[in-house]
């Protein structure tokens, strides 16, 4: 499945392993009652232009182009997210290595701002 212009992803972790750059991204959906459902996409692989973008824990990004695939391992299916192009839409408030405030994650004020 293709990803295009998906907004409001919070960077929880940036890691480089074996020459690959991966990130854990937080995402949320505002419910009709005003509450949020939130989840994390683990080990999103950055390739092409996306691997050149400087990312820090707590940044908010827009995925301009990417792909979601299923991978089968030992009888179970897992999500694989590959990101080709992204941009930082908001830098982290504090890049000093402290924990990200989870209250900042659900900061979308209106339904008009939701990308879905």
Q: Residue 90, SS3? A: strand
Distance CA 83, CA 47 (A): 6
CATH topology of domain 2-94: OB fold (Dihydrolipoamide Acetyltransferase, E2P) (2.40.50)
**Phi, psi (deg, nearest 5) at residue 51:** -70, -15
Q: Would the pLDDT of 116 be above 70?
A: no
Q: What is the pLDDT of residues 54-95, one digit of tens each?
A: 999 999 999 999 999 999 999 999 999 999 999 999 998 865
Q: Is the dihedral of CA 7, 31, 58, 71 positive or negative?
A: negative
Rg of the chain in Å (alpha carbons): 14
């Amino acid at each position: 499945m293709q990803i295009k212009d998906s907004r409001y992803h919070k960077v929880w972790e940036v890691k480089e392993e074996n020459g690959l750059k991966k990130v854990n991204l937080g995402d949320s959906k505002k419910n009709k009652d005003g509450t949020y459902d939130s989840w994390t996409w683990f080990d999103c692989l950055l390739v092409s232009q996306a691997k050149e973008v400087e990312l820090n824990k707590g940044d908010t990004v827009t995925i301009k182009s990417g792909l979601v695939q299923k991978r089968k391992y030992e009888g179970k299916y897992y999500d694989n997210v590959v990101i080709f192009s992204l941009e930082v839409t908001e830098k982290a408030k504090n890049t000093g290595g402290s924990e990200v405030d989870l209250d900042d994650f659900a900061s979308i004020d209106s339904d008009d701002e939701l990308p879905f």
